[in-house]
């Protein structure tokens, strides 16, 4: 079975919510929609205090090339445009809407009918994706319309669809592949058309046999789409690792996947593209897994953007008393939240609630030079060295040792028997090396 | 036999002479003329190589200052005024009187006044904590309490207070090298004029959030009410982005502003204790 060659770990899977069908979460009283939900320049608001907005109406425009539009996820009145704490732990600008009776913006098809035919041109598809504010739903939230435009002089050969979901606990992509498989396939066909490729491969880890079976059966009806089972290994869902696993090509350091003729999209993104192009529906909701040992009923919710995290937790039974940590995302790369009113954004794939005991770090010991971190680093770096030289502030040396190639997957931190904060130190180093490089240019 | 000795002596001697001539020519040709004053200046400098001047060590400082021929833009913080006037003497220059500076920590959000709401278990450095979130108290501007500034101080002029979890500056040791200013990821530490008898008045807060938000996290935050601005007769206080700032060049240390601050964010240091409205006694106390 295919997988990537260098490094990787296999943390316990804990996919406890994989049998829970997607439920629609009711709207909260207010939604706060952050203006920076994507990588790049924050969107500029086009509504003001007191404005009435409908569900799906444009409320902020992404004006730069790498930016994305933001739409209202509810009908109501804009009560203010103010700073709210988002998952970065800092206050950022957001549009706060008081929710009233639902009324959709004109032209949006809210029915469940499957529309297979798409007669738009490449340019029209990209424009539509741009208008509807689609971003990468795997977590990095890179604006999708940028990825769907192949730069001049480059040629895309493969569209790779990421259905790996290698993070433990998370099941939102798994449920999406099972329940929206037809829509997903149409979405992939549209993306293939936009890129001008005739081959698409969906990579799915083989711990999701039901999704694999369903998609493989369905793929026969669609031209050019194949489904590839992958060996379970973290971080297979990372772009470069997925390319290595599926088509055995290596993306050069500091380059984009298009360099080797590949474009990678998440299954969530493909579904969002389907809804945007075929149904005129902007990205205003996503599937969020609420899971962990301290949740009474692990669930998958179809959640409107801007819903506070606390409503999701309450909908799945509320917080247990010995809760230690609430994490946005998975246990490996997620971010611990310091406030439960943080809104769900386009990049929130899951909410993980763990106990005091699980949240504790292993006690810190000296490095015993076992080199486990070197063995498992999927980018073939030397984490112990990078951590050490970052700590000693030898940033030039860190740059020479390719610290910028680190994608912060956390495998080194996970595997270290001495519980050393390798990733913490590398992150500080990366930030400083990045600053150094920016100053030099 | 004699011939062998003669030839060897002659050939080795000849080679030696040739080498000596070449070496002499090369030495003359590539002679580095170094200003002897560089060594003299280096002698005077404290040899701490702290980098407080912004240059790579004391030798580098000496080279630059001799080459520039002026003292403008050069300052040796650990050496202070005395060292700079000696350097000036070597170079035949006059040194401008510079006010001594001292590091000031502009945050009073102690564990008691800005209680922690979360627990932080990651790498114990401020740089990392700052990159992750707004801090244990929730104030995105306040001290993170991990002590990067204390680690950066090469003169034992700072320590972490165990009770408050805030850094404290030991004035006598502080040489204003600005290492802590650079180490703090939140720009909390500022270099301020040391002032007469080391007396200083400053706003001990840099929170630019709206008053209500700031107050929620910290009892002693500046809420930007502007009462100190009205009170100040010397236009030393400015209010920008919900935060008051006292310009130490304009401040006359009149002590009018600290009592009007509703949150007690304005601190006064090294003043005699206030005696309630008895001017005569106040004067005697000062004397």
- A425 → closest Cβ in B121, B123, B209: B123
Same-domain status, B230 and B134: yes
Residue with the two structure tokens 């309630």: B276
8 Å CB contact of B122 and A91: no
Same-domain status, B112 and B230: yes
Size of interface A-B (CB pairs under 8 A): 43
pLDDT at B10: 94
- A90 → closest Cβ in B118, B127, B134: B134
Same-domain status, B175 and B246: yes
8 Å CB contact of B134 and A89: yes
Same-domain status, B82 and B170: no
Domain final residue pick, B51, B71, B91: B91
Crossing angle of helices A383-391 and A422-440, in 10° steps, is 70
8 Å CB contact of A339 and B138: yes
Q: Is residue B178 part of a domain?
A: yes
Same-domain status, B47 and B149: no
| Residue closest to A279 by CA, chosen among A173, A128, A75, A174 | A128
Nearest CA in chain A to B131: A428
When pLDDT is averaged across residues A99-118 and rounded to a whole number, the result is 90
d(CA A235, CA A177): 19
Same-domain status, B188 and B60: no
Nearest CA in chain B to A428: B128
Q: Is residue B11 part of a domain?
A: no
| Residue closest to B184 by CA, chosen among B202, B208, B164, B158 | B158
Same-domain status, B120 and B194: yes
For residues A387 and A420, is the Cβ–Cβ distance under 8 A? yes
Residues on chain B touching A336 (C-beta within 8 angstroms): 133
Q: Is residue B260 part of a domain?
A: yes
Q: Which domains does chain A have, with CATH numbers?
A: 24-99 (2.40.50.100), 122-279 (3.40.50.11540), 301-359 (no CATH), 372-440 (no CATH)
Same-domain status, B219 and B144: yes
Q: Is residue B70 part of a domain?
A: yes
Nearest CA in chain A to B141: A90
When pLDDT is averaged across residues A381-389 and rounded to a whole number, the result is 95
For the domain that residue B56 is a member of, what is the CATH number?
Answer: 1.10.15
Residue with the two structure tokens 């009073």: B108
Q: Is residue B228 part of a domain?
A: yes
List all residues of chain B from 171 to 210 with a beta carbon under 8 Å from chain A.
Answer: 209
8 Å CB contact of A338 and B138: yes
Same-domain status, B232 and B259: yes
**Spans of chain B below 50 pLDDT:** 279-287
For residues B240 and B256, is the Cβ–Cβ distance under 8 A? no
> How close does chain A come to B162, measured CA to CA in Å?
22
pLDDT at A331: 93
Q: Is residue B14 part of a domain?
A: no
Residues on chain A touching B185 (C-beta within 8 angstroms): none
pLDDT at A4: 92
Total count of domains within chain B: 2
Residues on chain B touching A360 (C-beta within 8 angstroms): 121
Residue-range definition of the domain harbouring residue B280:
101-286
Please say if the pLDDT value at position A348 is more than 90: yes
pLDDT at B155: 84
Nearest CA in chain A to B118: A338
- B134 → closest Cβ in A338, A359, A360: A338
pLDDT at B277: 57
For the domain that residue B258 is a member of, what is the CATH number?
Answer: 3.30.70.20
Helix (H) / strand (E) containing B14:
helix B2-29
Residues on chain A touching B138 (C-beta within 8 angstroms): 338-339
Q: Is residue B262 part of a domain?
A: yes
Neighbours of B163 (CB within 10 A): 9
Please say if the pLDDT value at position A202 is more than 90: yes
List all residues of chain B from 16 to 75 with a beta carbon under 8 Å from chain A.
Answer: none
Chain B interface includes A115 (CB < 8 A): no
A140-171 confidence digits (pLDDT tens): 899 999 999 998 889 999 999 999 999 999 99
Same-domain status, B83 and B105: no
> How close does chain A come to B214, measured CA to CA in Å?
12
Please say if the pLDDT value at position A300 is more than 60: yes
Q: Is residue B9 part of a domain?
A: no
ipTM over 0.90: no
8 Å CB contact of B117 and A338: yes
Same-domain status, B238 and B155: yes
Same-domain status, B85 and B190: no
Q: For residue B245, give Cα distances in angstroms to B201, B202, B255.
A: 10, 7, 15
What lies within 8 Å, CB to CB, of A32 at 6+ separation is A84, A94, A95, A96, A97, A306, A308, A343
> How close does chain B come to A403, measured CA to CA in Å?
16
Q: How much is the mean pLDDT over chain A?
A: 93
Chain B interface test: which of A398, A426, A427 (most B C-beta within 10 Å) = A427
8 Å CB contact of B128 and A85: no
| Residue A78, helix vs strand vs coil | strand
More confident residue, A246 or A89: A246
Domain final residue pick, B49, B67, B91: B91
8 Å CB contact of A424 and B127: no
Residues on chain A touching B121 (C-beta within 8 angstroms): 359-361
When pLDDT is averaged across residues A120-130 and rounded to a whole number, the result is 93
């Amino acid at each position: 079975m295919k997988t990537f060659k260098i490094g990787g770990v296999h943390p316990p899977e804990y996919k406890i919510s994989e049998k829970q069908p997607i439920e629609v979460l009711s709207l909260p009283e207010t939604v706060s929609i952050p203006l920076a939900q994507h990588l790049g320049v924050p969107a500029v608001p086009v509504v003001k205090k007191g404005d009435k907005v409908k569900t799906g109406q444009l409320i902020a425009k992404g004006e730069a090339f790498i930016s994305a539009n933001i739409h209202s996820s509810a009908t109501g009145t804009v009560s203010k445009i103010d700073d709210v704490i988002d998952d970065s732990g800092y206050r950022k600008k957001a549009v706060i809407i008081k929710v009233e009776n639902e009324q959709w913006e004109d032209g949006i098809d809210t029915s469940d009918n499957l529309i297979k035919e798409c007669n738009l041109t490449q340019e029209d598809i990209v424009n539509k994706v741009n208008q509807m504010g689609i971003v990468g739903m795997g977590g990095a939230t890179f604006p999708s319309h940028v990825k769907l435009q192949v730069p001049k002089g480059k040629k895309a050969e493969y569209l790779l669809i990421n259905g790996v979901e290698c993070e433990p606990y998370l099941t939102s992509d798994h449920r999406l592949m099972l329940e929206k498989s037809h829509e997903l396939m149409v979405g992939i066909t549209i993306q293939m058309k936009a890129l001008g490729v005739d081959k698409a491969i969906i990579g799915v880890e083989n711990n999701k046999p039901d999704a694999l079976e369903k998609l493989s059966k369905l793929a026969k009806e669609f031209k050019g789409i194949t489904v590839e089972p992958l060996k379970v290994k973290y971080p297979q869902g990372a772009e470069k690792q997925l390319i290595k696993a599926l088509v055995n090509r290596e993306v050069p350091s500091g380059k984009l996947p298009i360099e080797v003729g590949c474009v990678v999209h998440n299954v969530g993104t493909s579904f969002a593209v389907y809804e945007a192009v075929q149904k005129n529906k902007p990205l205003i909701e996503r599937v969020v897994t609420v899971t962990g040992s301290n949740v009474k009923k692990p669930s998958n919710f179809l959640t409107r953007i801007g819903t506070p995290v606390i409503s999701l937790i309450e909908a799945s039974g509320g917080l247990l008393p010995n809760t230690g940590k609430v994490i946005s995302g998975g246990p490996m790369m997620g971010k611990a939240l310091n406030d439960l009113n943080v809104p769900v954004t386009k990049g929130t794939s899951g909410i993980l609630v763990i106990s005091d005991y699980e949240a504790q770090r292993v006690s810190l010991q000296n490095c015993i030079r076992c080199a486990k971190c070197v063995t498992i680093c999927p980018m073939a770096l030397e984490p112990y060295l990078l951590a050490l030289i970052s700590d000693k502030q030898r940033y030039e040396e860190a740059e020479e040792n390719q610290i910028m190639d680190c994608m912060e997957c956390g495998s080194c931190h996970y595997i270290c028997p001495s519980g050393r904060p390798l990733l913490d130190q590398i992150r500080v180093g990366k930030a400083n090396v990045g600053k150094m490089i920016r100053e030099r240019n | 036999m004699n011939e062998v000795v003669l030839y060897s002596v002659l050939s080795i001697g000849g080679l030696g002479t040739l080498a000596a001539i070449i070496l002499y020519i090369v030495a003359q040709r590539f002679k580095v003329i170094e200003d002897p004053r560089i060594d003299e200046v280096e002698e005077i400098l404290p040899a701490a190589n702290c980098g407080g001047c912004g240059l790579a060590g004391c030798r580098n400082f000496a080279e630059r200052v001799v080459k520039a021929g002026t003292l403008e833009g050069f300052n040796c913080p650990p050496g202070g005024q005395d060292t700079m006037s000696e350097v000036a003497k070597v170079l035949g220059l006059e040194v401008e009187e510079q006010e001594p500076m001292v590091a000031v920590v502009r945050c009073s959000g102690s564990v008691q006044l800005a209680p922690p709401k979360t627990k932080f278990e990651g790498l114990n450095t401020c740089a990392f904590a700052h990159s992750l979130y707004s801090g244990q108290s929730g104030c995105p501007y306040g001290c993170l309490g991990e002590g990067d500034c204390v680690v950066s101080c090469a003169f034992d002029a700072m320590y972490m207070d165990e009770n408050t979890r805030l850094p404290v500056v030991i004035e006598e040791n502080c040489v204003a090298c600005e290492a802590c200013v650079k180490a703090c990821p939140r720009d909390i530490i500022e270099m301020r004029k040391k002032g007469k008898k080391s007396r200083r008045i400053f706003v001990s807060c840099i929170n630019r959030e709206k008053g209500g938000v700031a107050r929620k996290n910290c009892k002693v935050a500046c809420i930007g009410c502007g009462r100190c601005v009205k009170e100040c007769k010397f236009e030393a206080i400015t209010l920008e982005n919900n935060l008051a700032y006292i310009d130490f060049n304009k401040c006359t240390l009149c002590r009018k502003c600290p009592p009007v601050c509703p949150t007690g964010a304005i601190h006064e240091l090294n003043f005699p204790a206030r005696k309630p409205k008895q001017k005569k006694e106040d004067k005697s106390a000062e004397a």
